[in-house]
């Protein structure tokens, strides 16, 4: 199979404008995501998908291949679909541009061992919450799956509610996912449902229409950057790995 990594990177984030260019230990955040993605041996190539000339020039400056995409996309998955119309591949793996600490050994876990490229396939990563306080934080998406790892529901609220017992590991969304071209075409051609509009999570494009989306527990560290203050925690973690040298 031909597998490519795609890093969506838009300039106009409402909470953190021009986020991909924010410095982490002296390097742009998008550089860290690209660095870890390039270390994935299964990728035939890695591309940054952006709507910004500034981000394009920045990424090309450190050797990244860039695909220019429309500024009108509301979601990273829609941007990934546009990439799929320009670059042919069997599997498109999206690594969100605000996940600077997700490492190669975690990224590969969203890729199935056996896959017919003509099939419908969608997967995403999740991980266990480390701090109970994060579970009640509405900025963190909570994932509930069935026994086969297929998503049942996703919410910013703490789910499932621990009425019967407390013996449950809550699962946190990680911004890495894999899609076949057929899945991306379905996403592009399907209207947003009511729950997707309410929760503002486009995994519901599949869930609401009874399309299986697998959530795989990568048991990895995830520190997505949503606001400038999140960079402090990211830098501290990267230092513990010796990546500040």
By the 8 A CB rule, do 33 and 43 touch? no
CA atoms within 13 A on the CB side of 127: 21
Q: If pLDDT is split at 50, 70 and 90, which confidence band does 15 have?
A: low
Q: Which of 2, 19, 3 is nearest to 227 (CA)?
A: 19
> DSSP characters for 31-87?
HHHHHHHHT-TT-SEEEEEES-HHHHHHHHHTT-EEEE--TT-SSHHHHHHHHHHHS
Q: Which of 130, 112, 113 is nearest to 121 (CA)?
A: 112
Answer yes or no: is pLDDT of 225 > 90: no
> What is the pTM (predicted TM-score) of this model?
0.94
Could you give the percent of the chain with pLDDT greater than 70?
98
By the 8 A CB rule, do 95 and 176 touch? yes
DSSP designation for 96: -
How do residues 78-110 score in pLDDT, each as one tens digit? 999 999 999 999 999 999 998 999 999 999 999
CA atoms within 13 A on the CB side of 70: 13
How do residues 119-164 score in pLDDT, each as one tens digit? 999 999 999 998 888 899 888 999 999 999 999 999 999 999 988 9
Question: Between the CA of residue 17 and those of 22, 53, 163, 243, what are the distances in Å?
Answer: 9, 15, 40, 26
DSSP designation for 141: P
Residue predicted with more confidence, 46 or 18: 46
Q: Which CATH number fits domain 3-240: 3.40.50.300, 3.90.550.10, 3.30.565.10, 3.30.70.1170?
A: 3.90.550.10
Q: Tell me what pLDDT residue 167 has.
A: 85
Kindly report the average pLDDT of the chain as a whole number.
93
């Amino acid at each position: 199979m031909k597998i490519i990594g795609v890093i969506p990177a838009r300039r106009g984030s409402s909470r953190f404008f021009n986020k991909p260019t924010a410095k982490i230990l002296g390097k742009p955040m998008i550089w860290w995501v690209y660095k870890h993605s390039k270390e994935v041996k299964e990728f035939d190539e890695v591309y940054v998908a952006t709507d910004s000339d500034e981000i394009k020039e920045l990424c090309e400056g450190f050797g990244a291949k860039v695909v220019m995409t429309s500024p009108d996309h509301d979601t990273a998955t829609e941007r990934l679909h546009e990439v799929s119309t320009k670059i042919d591949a069997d599997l498109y793996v999206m690594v969100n541009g605000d996940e600077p600490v997700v490492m190669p050994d975690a990224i590969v876990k969203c890729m199935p061992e056996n896959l017919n490229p003509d099939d419908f396939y969608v997967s995403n990563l999740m991980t266990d919450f480390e701090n109970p306080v994060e579970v009640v934080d509405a900025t963190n998406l909570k994932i509930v799956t069935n026994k086969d790892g297929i998503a049942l529901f996703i919410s910013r609220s703490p789910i499932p509610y621990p009425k019967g017992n407390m013996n449950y590991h809550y699962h946190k969304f990680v911004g890495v996912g894999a899609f076949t071209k057929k899945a991306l075409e379905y996403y592009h051609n399907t209207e947003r449902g009511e729950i997707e509009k309410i929760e503002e999570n486009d995994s519901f494009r599949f869930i609401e229409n009874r399309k299986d989306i697998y959530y795989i527990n990568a048991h990895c560290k995830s520190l997505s950057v949503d606001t400038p203050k999140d960079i402090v925690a990211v830098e501290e973690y990267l230092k513990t790995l010796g990546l500040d040298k």
